[in-house]
A and B are shown apart, each in its own frame.
Chain A
Amino acid sequence: MLAYVVRRVLATIPVMLVVAFVVFSMLMLAPGDPAAVIAGDQATPQDVERIRQALGLDRPFFVQFADFLWRLVHLDLGTSIFTNLPVTHMIAQRIEPTLALMVLTIVLAVSVAVPLGVVAAWKAGSWIDRGVMLFAVFGFSVPVFVVGYLLAYFVALEWELLPVQGYTPLSQGFLPFLENLILPAIALGTVYIALIARITRATMLEVLAQDYIRTARAKGLGTRPILFLHALKNAAVPISTVVGIGIALLIGGAVVTESVFAIPGLGRLTVDAILRRDYPVIQGVVLLFSFVYVLINLLIDLLYTLFDPRIRY
């Protein structure tokens, strides 16, 4: 098991290298010039050229890439072209809101979607089932920002129940922290809930038709232990796979959510950096996201062993 984990973690290194190379070449080949953005509209072309030289952006591609790799080996992600702050510092500033949003969304989504999916499967064909499926379709088709706007408009602006936007760090109290995150988590979670509810329903339908469920019923077990222990534990592997895959979806959605609710997270940092061509920041964030993604998938693979004793590493 430990050997497996070590192997998997080591296996991320080549993956990360490839990611680094792809990201780097995409940035270099894509149009856009940070020097021109930095200089502002009233700079002369000469100023722009001087800034480009000062930033080393006029060097050949492979020289720049080698430089980037060399720093990466030293765990140095470089400094933002614009703010001159270390990328690690900028990421550190932004990581809490994104992490908090993600975790809250996942917790919220899983705790809503799984029971919904289970009940839908149990009452397959009933109005509850149809309601859940309708919600799933809605969740898939309505964009995150629309849900966000609607929530902000009604819950925050009209009913004044929660703040419209912003973020309060956890260190300033759990309640204010939660107040700011509830709406974004719901907005971001909608698609995710739809996804998980659907896969839960489908998997549960399959599991509920299995012989061991009949056995459980023949034993006199009630509905709840049958659904949530006997069946759900068997459905857990596909569900957690989708939860894991969905995290990629979540990363994309977080960018929008953070914009709509003005949450100072990594998503917005990424968008700002892309619009501005702040190469070191983009590289840093993409590397981080891909690392997290790989890590989460490892975590989920390990979770499998918890759900299903037949899986061993």
Chain B
Amino acid sequence: MRRRDFLGATVAGAAALAAPAVHGQASAARVLRIVPQANLTSLDPIWTTATITRTHAYLVYDTLVGMDSSFQPRPQMAEGWTIEDDGKVYTFTLREGLRFHNGEAVTARDVVASIKRWWARDGFGQEIAKRHASLVALDDRRLRLTLQKPFALTLKALGKANASPCFVMPESVANTDPHTQITSAIGSGPYRFVREEWNPGSRVVYARFEGYVPRQEPTDWTAGAKLANAERMEWHIIPDPATAGAALQSGEVDFWEIPLHDLLPVLRRNRNIEVVVRDPIGSVGMLRFNHLVPPFDNPALRRALMLAVDQENYLRAVVGDDPGMYATSYSFWSRGSPMHTEEGSEPLRVKSLERARAALREAGYAGQRVVQLHASDFPTLAALSQVTADLLRRLEINLEFVATDWGTVVQRRASREPIERGGWNIFHTTWSGPDWFDPASTLAMRANGTGAWFGWPTSERMEALREQWFEAPNQAEQKRIATEIQREAFRVVPHIPLGHFLSPSAHRRNVTGVIKSPIVLFYNMGKSA
């Protein structure tokens, strides 16, 4: 007996009262229902670096420059560009017929304002900002960026797809202070945000933007055609993984971005469901040290701990025993990146408690208290953190394991106080592969002390090498410098890389057009009836 019949029979009398069920405007086949990895709370992709907001932004906004699967910048909103004056002058021409969702044409002024808001916040953007002489709209369709000296990575920065990409908004919106959240979602992307149906924490709805003109080239990550194959896209935020799994099995949703690893076997067994590795690079785990407070302000201690780390233990704790779902990576750069190298990684391959114990003793560890922050509400982070705690205990380190929720961890990790006054020594987090791509994208590899990311490592050499990297004329030179940075990082140990793990997606078999990319992209997806 099917669902309708059951209630229909039971509540036959009430049926007369019931209005026909109206499921949105489009028929079921044209509505794509997605369970995203998180709840969309903020609509401003410059204000927050939250991945879910970026995923939202890639539907709603377009970018001047896209990035293809070989990590090369490609024109997206730009029809093309010219580079003159030894790489100091970039002139972009916009495609014809670009429109915002409010019907207005996209002009070069909109792009200029958007770039300026972006580079006030984004680290890679700041590299252009500090080198630029001027950025102006020449006319409605052309804008010009003039640099003080050549910067080879200009296009890569404009086309970056991790953290905060350079999304184009209407000028009036882009003029908002970069530290103030915008509430508008008017872009020129393939999907229109349906504000009336936005119910934060429950539902986000997008409708195909009929005014969007996709590029002619085939879709290639954020380059090429962006197709709105589904007429309507609904994000169903389902906080309970078991419920999300059940909803996918019953066909109440079509696509689940990141199923809990434990549930994958069940989903694989279902004939109507396909489990796909959408992101071939996956995420990387990190054990982050606080470099300001004892005992891990001592680099010898950080190096000593590294000797005990066995990435496989961490990876299996996260994904289980399926070896296809993880890969070790003895590198500070992500797999899949041209910068990836395992040179200098010998300490991370030692995997010996004995050696670590000896090194700890030698480094002068004498039972000082170590505060580890643990977020119990994110299964992945909790798993990584548990492995470290176990390791520390076996190394007879005087561990204070502080289990809270992520909201508390993010606050406490900002404290630079000694541990007696609410400080910390260790926490864990994960990053998507592109966030560890190269010195430009890898926030965690900054080593400029209190200006750096939480943990505040200091290494003049790493910073100097980073500067050199930006000036490198070609990829071979970039790689050489990145390798140097890594050697230094294995000495400084800003954090310990814990390896890559894949987070497959699961979807109903009739879902089409899933883009395989380390960046979450929901356009192109549709349903074959």
A residues with a Cβ closer than 8 A to B are 31-34, 36-48, 50-51, 54, 80, 82-85, 90, 93-94, 149, 152-153, 156-157, 159-166, 168, 171-176, 178-179, 259-262, 264, 268-269, 271-272, 274-278
CB of B522 closer than 8 Å to a CB of A: no
**Chain B neighbourhood of A166, CB < 8 A:** 236, 247, 252
Residues of B within 8 A of A40 (CB): 48-51, 53
Within 8 Å CB of B237, what residues of A? 262
CA distance A262 to B413 in the complex (A): 31
- Give Cα A194–Cα B395 distance, bound, in whole angstroms: 50
CA distance A152 to B2 in the complex (A): 15
Q: Chain A interface: which of B57-65, B127-135, B178-186?
A: B178-186
Tell me which residues across on chain B come within 8 A of A156, comparing CB atoms.
Answer: 246, 250
Q: Which of B181, B413, B452 has its CB near the most chain A CB atoms (within 10 A)?
A: B181
Contact A82 B200 (CB under 8 A): yes
Q: In the complex, what residue of chain B is closest to A44 when comparing beta carbons? A: B453
Q: Which 3 A-B pairs have the closest CB atoms?
A: A264-B202, A40-B49, A33-B411
**Highest count of chain B CB atoms <10 Å: which of A41, A45, A278:** A41
Contact B203 A174 (CB under 8 A): no
Given A33-B414, A83-B200, A44:B50 Cβ within 8 A: no
Indicate if B386 sits at the interface (CB-CB under 8 A).
no
Closest CB of chain B to A258's CB: distance in Å? Answer: 9
Complex Cα gap A175–B5 (Å): 11
Which of chain B's residues has its CB closest to A278's CB? B41
User: How many B residues touch A, CB cutoff 8 Å?
Assistant: 73
* B residues less than 8 Å from A149 (CB atoms): 242
Q: Chain B: which residue is nearest A51 at the CB level?
A: B179
Contact B243–A83 (Cβ < 8 Å): no
Across-interface contacts of B429 in A (CB, < 8 A) = 41
The 8 Å CB contact of A268, one of B17, B22, B201, B450, is B201
- Which of B18, B179, B200, B414 is most buried by chain A, counting CB atoms within 10 A of its CB? B200
In the docked arrangement, what's the CA distance between A46 and B134, Å? 26
* CB pair B414 A36 closer than 8 Å: yes
A38 to B2, CA, bound (A): 44
Smallest Cβ distance from B271 to chain A, in angstroms?
A: 14
| Residue among A85, A174, A259, A261 making CB contact with B200, cutoff 8 Å | A85
Partner of A173, one of B2, B21, B250, B408: B21
Determine whether the beta carbon of B249 is less than 8 Å from that of A157. Answer: yes
From A162, A168, A261, contact of B6 by CB (8 A): A162
Where chain B touches its partner, the secondary structure class is: loop
In the assembled complex, which residues on chain B have CB atoms less than 8 Å from the CB atom of A54? 177, 179-180
Q: What residues on A are CB-neighbors of B22 within 8 Å?
A: 172-173
Stretch at the interface among B209-217, B218-226, B352-360, B399-407: B399-407
**Which residue of B50, B203, B250 contacts A163 across the interface (Cβ within 8 Å)?**
B250
Q: Is the CB of B411 within 8 A of A31?
A: yes
Q: Which residue in B43, B177, B252 is a CB contact (below 8 Å) of A164?
A: B252
Give the distance in Å from the alpha carbon of A4 to the alpha carbon of B49 in the complex. 54
A40 to B48, CA, bound (A): 6
Closest to B410 in A: A36
Least Cβ distance of A96 to chain B in Å?
11
Query: Which of B123, B203, B243, B414 contacts A48, CB < 8 Å?
Result: B414
| Chain B residues within an 8 Å CB radius of A173 | 18-22
Q: Are A38 and B47 in contact (CB under 8 A)?
A: yes
Query: Interface segment, B7-15, B87-95, B334-342, B471-479?
Result: B7-15
A151–B73 Cα gap in the complex (Å)? 51
Complex CA distance for A264 and B47, rounded to whole angstroms: 26
Residues of B contacting A165 with CB < 8 Å? 238, 243-244, 246-247, 252
Contact with A along B320-341 (1 / 0, CB 8 A): 0000000000000000000000
Which residues from chain A contact B18 at a C-beta distance below 8 Å?
173-176
Q: State how many angstroms separate the Cβ of A253 from the closest Cβ of chain B.
A: 15
Q: How far is the CA of A232 from the CA of B324 in the complex (A)?
A: 65
- The answer to whether A262 touches B443 (Cβ under 8 A) is no
A35 → B minimal CB distance (Å): 9
- A32 near B411: Cβ-Cβ < 8 Å: yes
Name, among B11, B199, B377, B454, the residue most crowded by chain A CB atoms within 10 Å (CB to CB): B199
A38/B250 contact (C-beta < 8 A), A163-B3, A178-B7, A272-B39 known? no
Q: How far is the CA of A161 from the CA of B7 in the complex (A)?
A: 8
Query: Are the C-beta atoms of A172 and B21 separated by less than 8 Å?
Result: yes
Known: A31-B412, A164-B252, A268-B239. A44 touches B451 (CB 8 A): yes
Chain B residues contacting A46 (CB-CB under 8 Å) are 451
Within 8 A of A (CB), among B231-290: 236-240, 242-244, 246-247, 249-250, 252
